[in-house]
Amino acid sequence: MTTINEKFYLERGEMNYQLREYIEKIADSISERGFQNIFFVGSGGSIEMLRSFADYFKKLSNIPVYTDTSAEFAVAQYKQLTKDSLVILVSKTGDAEEAVQAARYCQERGITTVGFVGVKDSTIYNIVSHKIFIDEDISAFRYIQVYFLAFRLLYNLGHFEDYPRFSNELKKLPKALLETAKQFDSVAKIYAEQHYQDPFQLWIGSGANIGEISRYSACVAEELFRIKTQAMHSAEFFHGCFEIVDEHTPVVLIKGEDESRGIDKRVEKFLEKYSGNSLIIDTKDFPLEGISPDFRKYFAPAVISILLGDRLRINMAEKTGLSYNTRKYYRVVSY
């Protein structure tokens, strides 16, 4: 069913916000111990989600940050990874082989880890130095916990003095995302009706938003609905894939609100002239009541998650009959 359960959204939002004090204490203890760099680690949609936080650290601080897939991280033997590193992992299931291997790698070397895990008492949940339960019922809400940790760390480092105001506004984010979901639902329904049988889709975006766009492209459109896709950064659009734009190729551009917005606009102008089958989604079109204008760019990935990972996914599932329970290979066959 595509119906939005408002009560459920708000209850889950409050539950997530209640983790604030617990997460802030974790951030404070890590800051007191100190760290020289940060590795954001995950697989699939998890690492794509974390890319936005690496982007924030690069723009707001002088702390070296790295993003890596769990499998590569566990075998690469990076020289930058030491006991003075901080490793932040996200794992939906808590038992994915690659993520477990990455967590054990850190545990064996005494490297501080924070694990955002969707299943309590799972393998990763019990391995990491600090464990935080993430909400998988509404995946966009998992951003709330990571916002608390990442921006509290930035605050403690002296790079984000607005944290008190920022963290208070996180209480309003679930309601803002609920209203965003309601506003977009009709668009999601129409898109699903028109595109659920597409042989191919092109997804484009930039800045802190590219991870969430890639997450939908790979982990939803391909993995759930078996639609061949390509996720492309707006800056790279004119270095290859713009040549496949025509009257028929389905293209979706997500316009963000950070420093890369101008790059998105360049793509938009091209699509307006040459594409006959494109959809432009602008995060600025969603009011986000209660959220300060200067914080909107940080919350844009969560907005995209509620648009694509929630409303579009649910409407596509209704049209295709496919879902998390109908995959051909993932956790079905041995690989």
Residue 21 pLDDT: 98
Give residue-wise pLDDT tens across range 196-229: 999 999 999 999 999 999 999 999 999 999 999 9
> What's the pLDDT at 57?
98
At 2, the pLDDT band (50, 70, 90 cuts) reads: confident
261 alpha carbon, distance to own chain's centre: 18
Q: Does 245 fall in a domain?
A: yes
Task: Kindly state whether residues 107 and 143 are assigned to the same domain.
Answer: yes
**pLDDT attached to residue 290:** 96
DSSP line for 224-271: TT--EEEEEEGGGTTTTGGGG-SSSS-EEEEE-SSTTHHHHHHHHHHH
- Per-residue pLDDT at 247: 97
Predicted confidence at residue 335, as pLDDT, reads 84
CA–CA distance, 115 with 128 (Å, rounded to integer): 6
What percent of the chain lies above the pLDDT cut of 70? Answer: 100
In a domain, 270, yes or no: yes
Q: Residue 195 corresponds to which tokens in the numbers above?
A: 């595109």
Average pLDDT over residues 244-271: 98
Average pLDDT over residues 46-68: 97
Say whether both 282 and 194 belong to one domain.
yes
Which residue, 128, 152, 169, sits at the end of a domain? Answer: 169
Using DSSP bridges, classify how beta strands 65-69 and 112-117 pair: parallel, antiparallel or unpaired: unpaired
Among 214, 31, 147, smallest CA distance to 134 is for 147
pLDDT at 1: 52
User: Is residue 315, in this structure, part of any structural domain at all?
Assistant: yes
First to last CA, the chain: 32
Question: pLDDT tens across 88-140, in order?
Answer: 999 999 999 999 999 999 999 999 999 999 999 999 999 999 999 987 788 89
Whether residue 313 sits in one domain with residue 181:
yes
Co-location of 276 and 134 in the same domain: no
Instruction: State whether 156 and 92 are in the same domain.
Output: yes
Mean pLDDT of 139-164: 97
- Domain total of the chain: 2
If asked whether residues 241 and 269 sit together in one domain, one would say yes
The pLDDT tens digits of the residues spanning 155-196 come to 999 999 999 999 999 999 999 999 999 999 999 999 999 999
Mutual angle of helices 296-304 and 142-156, in 10-degree steps = 150
Residue after which a domain boundary falls, among 135, 169, 203:
169
Burial of 211 (0-12, 13-18, 19+ CB in 10 A): buried
Task: For residue 266, give its domain range.
Answer: 174-320
Is 192 inside a domain boundary?
yes
Q: Same domain for 178 and 266?
A: yes
Residues 160 and 198 in one domain: no
Tokens of 130: 């600090």
Query: Domain of 279: which CATH number?
Result: 3.40.50.10490
Note whether 15 and 161 are same-domain residues.
Answer: yes
Among 146, 169, 192, residue at a domain's last position = 169
| Within a domain: 69 | yes
What rounded mean pLDDT belongs to the chain? 96
pLDDT in tens, 76-88: 999 999 999 999 9
**Are the C-beta atoms of residues 4 and 130 closer than 8 Å to each other?**
no
